[in-house]
Amino acid sequence: MTMLARPSTLPPLQQVAVLATDCTIASTVMQAKDFFYMASLNDGRQRGLGLKPSFSTLIVAADDQPATSFSQDVFPIQAFIDQVEPQLIILPAFWGEFDELLERYPAVLPWLRKSHARGAVIGAVANGAYWAAAAGLLDDREATTYWRYHDDFSQRFPRVVLQRDKHLTDAGQVLCAAGINSGRDLFVHLADRLCGPGVAQTVARDVFYEVQRSYTPGVIGFGGQKMHQDLAILQIQQWLESHFAEKFRFEDVASRHGMSIRNFMRRFQQATGDKPLQYLQRLRIEMAKNLLSTSRLSIKTISYDIGYDDASFFARLFRQHTDQSPNQYRRQYQRQPAD
C-alpha cells in the first residue's frame, strides 16, 4: 500500500459518507462504516477527545426510499445525499445492472460531480468505480475495478485508463480498489491520507489481524502525479519507475531529454508536486514495502535491491516515510510469508 502525505489543501476530516443503494453488497457498506468509525475513535483519542469520534461516518441514501442490499437487508440510512457535505465519499460494490441503478438514482452523478468540485475525495470499491466513471471523474485518469468487469468497464468508459493488473489506483481525488479485500487496503490508505499515519497504522493493526490476502498488496502507483501536460516529464517518470534501483545522475537524465538540470528540476516539481529525489525515494520505499510484506528477504538485501547500499540509511529513510522501522512494517503487514 502506498502511504502518501496528506495534501495540505484538504480540510480536516469532518464527515465520511458511505453511499447505499439498492443491490449494494452490504458487507462493503458496513466494512467502510466500521473502519472509518474506528479511525474516528483513534483520531479522537490522539486529539485528546477521549472516546469521542473526531468525525462522523454516515450511511447515506440517494432518495427518501428504503435502500435494500443485494442480500435483501434494509440499510440503516442516516442521511440523504443532499443533506451532507463530506470530505470523503465511499462508493461500495453492487450486484446487478449498472444501467438500472443509473435510472433508479439520477441524483447520484450530479452529487458526485458537485462533491468532487468542492474537493471531496472519493474511494470506490470494486465496481463502485462505475459511479465515478459515469460522473466523468475518471476521464484520462487511472482506475481499477473487479476483474469480471474489465471488458465492460473499458467499453463503457473508453477515456478511463483502466489498470487491469493493479489492485489499487490513486488518481488524486478518486481512488479505486479492485475488490472487497483490497478495499481494506484502500481504506487504510485513505485514513493515512486524511487522518495521518498514526491513525492508519493503529486501525490497520486491528483490521488486518490474521487476514490472509488472496493477492499481493502491490504499489498503488502515482497516477495522481501523472495528470499533467508535460510529456517530457511523464517520460522521465515512466523511466524512473523502471530504473529506480539503478545508479544514475539526474543531470544525465535531464540531458537525455534535452533539458538543463535547473530546468528539469523546476519542470519536474511543477508537474508532479515532488522534487525528483523525493519522487525517487517514494518509488523505492513503495517497492520496499512490497518486498517487506511478501518476502523473507533481509533488510540489507531489500535495501540493496531498491538502490541503497547503506542499510542503515535505508532504515532511517523508511522511518521518515512511514513512521515505522522496516521490521515493524514487516511484522504488521506480513501475514503469510512467501515460500
Q: What is the pLDDT of residue 188?
A: 84
User: Rounded to an integer, what distance in angstroms lies between the CA atom of residue 124 and that of residue 186?
Assistant: 9
Last residue of one domain, picked from the residues 164, 192, 223: 223
Do 56 and 153 lie in a common domain?
yes
Quickly state the pLDDT bin for 322 (edges 50, 70, 90): confident
Do 194 and 214 lie in a common domain?
yes
Q: Is residue 287 part of a domain?
A: yes
Domain CATH code at residue 302 = 1.10.10.60
Q: What is the pLDDT of residue 220?
A: 52
Q: What is the pLDDT of residue 264?
A: 95
Name the more confident of 318 and 51: 318
Number of structural domains in the chain? 2
Q: What CA–CA distances, in Å, run from 41 to 51, 85, 86, 202?
A: 6, 21, 18, 11
**Residue-number span of the structural domain to which 63 is assigned:** 15-223
Residue located via cell numbers 520505499: 285
Do 67 and 123 lie in a common domain?
yes
Q: What is the CA radius of gyration of the chain?
A: 20
User: Rounded to an integer, what distance in angstroms lies between the CA atom of residue 255 and that of residue 261?
Assistant: 7
Do 251 and 129 lie in a common domain?
no
Q: Is residue 27 part of a domain?
A: yes
Do 172 and 74 lie in a common domain?
yes
Do 153 and 239 lie in a common domain?
no
User: Rounded to an integer, what distance in angstroms lies between the CA atom of residue 220 and that of residue 144?
Assistant: 11
Q: Is pLDDT above 80 for 239?
A: yes
Q: Is residue 77 part of a domain?
A: yes
Last residue of one domain, picked from the residues 180, 195, 223: 223
Do 201 and 282 lie in a common domain?
no
pLDDT tens track for 323-338: 889 998 888 766 544 3
Do 233 and 210 lie in a common domain?
no
Q: Is residue 1 part of a domain?
A: no
User: Rounded to an integer, what distance in angstroms lies between the CA atom of residue 224 and that of residue 152?
Assistant: 24
**3-state DSSP assignment of residue 119:** coil
Q: What is the pLDDT of residue 72?
A: 93
Q: Is residue 5 part of a domain?
A: no
User: Rounded to an integer, what distance in angstroms lies between the CA atom of residue 168 and that of residue 158?
Assistant: 19
**For residues 156-164, average pLDDT:** 91
User: 209 is written with which cell numbers?
Assistant: 489481524
pLDDT tens track for 48-97: 888 888 899 999 999 999 999 999 999 999 999 999 999 999 999 999 89
Q: What is the pLDDT of residue 18?
A: 97
Would you tell me the crossing angle of helices 197-207 and 326-333 to the nearest 10 degrees?
40
Secondary structure of the chain: what % helix, strand, coil (to 5)?
A: 50, 10, 40
Do 43 and 167 lie in a common domain?
yes
Q: Is residue 101 part of a domain?
A: yes
User: 207 is written with which cell numbers?
Assistant: 483490521
User: Rounded to an integer, what distance in angstroms lies between the CA atom of residue 332 and that of residue 244?
Assistant: 26
User: 59 is written with which cell numbers?
Assistant: 450511511
Domain CATH code at residue 65 = 3.40.50.880
pLDDT tens track for 86-145: 999 999 999 989 999 999 999 999 999 999 999 999 999 999 999 999 999 999 888 999
Quickly state the pLDDT bin for 290 (edges 50, 70, 90): confident
Q: Is residue 246 part of a domain?
A: yes
Whole-number mean pLDDT of the chain? 85
Q: Is the dihedral of CA 246, 249, 250, 255 positive or negative?
A: negative
Strands 174-177 and 168-170: antiparallel
Q: Is pLDDT above 50 for 271?
A: yes
Do 219 and 243 lie in a common domain?
no
Q: What is the pLDDT of residue 175?
A: 93
Do 65 and 209 lie in a common domain?
yes
C-alpha neighbours within 13 Å on the C-beta side of residue 87: 17
Helices (H), 168-248: 180-195, 197-207, 231-243
Helices and strands in the chain: count of H runs, count of E runs: 14, 9
Instruction: Give the global pTM.
Output: 0.67
Last residue of one domain, picked from the residues 223, 246, 273: 223
Q: Is residue 239 part of a domain?
A: yes
User: 329 is written with which cell numbers?
Assistant: 512494517
**For residues 3-10, average pLDDT:** 39
Do 240 and 92 lie in a common domain?
no
